[in-house]
Amino acid sequence: MASKSQKAVCSEGRIHQWHLQHRWLGPLIFISSALFFLGQIVVAWVFRGNVTTANGTTQHLQYNMVLNTISDLGNTACGNYHGGYVCSPRWVVMDVVFAVVGLCMIIGSALLFHEYCDRNRSRASWLPTEATLAAVGFVMMAVGGLGAITIACFPENTIGFMHEGGAALGIGVGNLGIFVLGASLGLPESMRRNMLIFSSFSITALILFAFNRPFGLGPGTMERLAAYPQVVWMIAFGLYVWRFNPRAEYERHQRAATQQFGGAESMDAPQLT
């Protein structure tokens, strides 16, 4: 059975009531993280890089998704950085985009948790309830959002350890949250499987990027392998909740189970998967 505190969060909390009145908002916020990709195009369009050739001449280069990291787009000063010349005239746009994505992670997670906050069953007797694990997963996503905001506040050419710590939170903890949600929520099996696979893949890519082991793929590619799947998941998950309304579907299953078991909630009642 659901605990009293769990029922209070689900039925009396202000965020829960707001979510019920504006059920489109949480999914829309997650989907809005697509600005992450649009922002990179806008900023990279005018990015300038230089390289000195063997004969001593300077060659001007466009932004290179293999060699340049995403953070290069938010670099606030033109100059040599990580062995190459970096100049991003629209760095303000990129850093604002980092912050917006972080807010999408925080606010969207706070709202979308309430799609699952009253699920008082677990996949095994020794596991916490689905609602508890949903809280853990969405809190991790929110912490990841704080990491993204930290990246925005401390571009790579400012306080390096703060920028790197923000990336660790934004990508690492955020993907751990996706893994927890994939392992615990009653979602379509294909979605659960993809969440587990791609979050593990992203964390592995993040570790390789952190230890400067791109294995010929380039630092830009390795960072994108770590960061992009998380944003793609946010968009896909937002579309899923918007289209299928899992809370309403779960409530229909619960009503059917209550009628089947004579008005009493049963731990053997069907569970949405």
Give me the residues paired with residue 85 across strands.
80
Query: CA 58, 62, 66, 68 torsion: positive or negative?
Result: positive
pLDDT tens per residue, range 186-207: 888 999 999 999 999 999 999 9
Residue 251 placed within a domain: yes
How many domains is the chain partitioned into structurally?
1
Name the one residue in this structure whose structure tokens are 């929110």: 142
Q: Is position 157 within any domain?
A: yes
38 in a domain, yes or no?
yes
Per-position pLDDT tens, the chain of length 273 = 445 545 545 555 666 666 666 677 889 999 999 999 999 999 999 998 765 555 555 566 788 888 889 999 999 998 888 777 888 999 999 999 999 999 999 999 999 888 877 666 655 554 667 788 888 999 999 999 999 999 999 999 899 899 999 999 999 999 999 999 999 888 889 999 999 999 999 999 999 999 989 888 999 999 999 999 999 999 999 999 988 876 655 555 555 556 665 554 444 444 444
Which segments of 129-262 are extended strands (E)?
A: none
Whether 235 is covered by a domain: the verdict is yes
List pLDDT tens digits, range 52-76.
555 555 566 788 888 889 999 999 9
Confirm whether 68 is domain-assigned.
Answer: no
66 in any annotated domain = no
Q: Which residues contact 54 (CB under 8 A, 6 or more apart)?
A: none
Per the structure, the complete domain to which residue 201 belongs is given by 4-46+91-258
Number of helices (H) and strands (E) in the chain: give both, helices first. Answer: 11, 4
Residue 253 carries which side chain, given as an amino acid letter?
H
Cα end-to-end span (Å), the chain: 19
> How buried is 33 (Cβ within 10 angstroms: 0-12 exposed, 13-18 middle, 19+ buried)?
buried
As a whole number of angstroms, the distance between CA 97 and CA 50 comes to 25
Distance, CA of 88 to CA of 83 (rounded, Å): 16
In a domain, residue 62? The reply is no
Q: Residue 52 falls within a domain, yes or no?
A: no
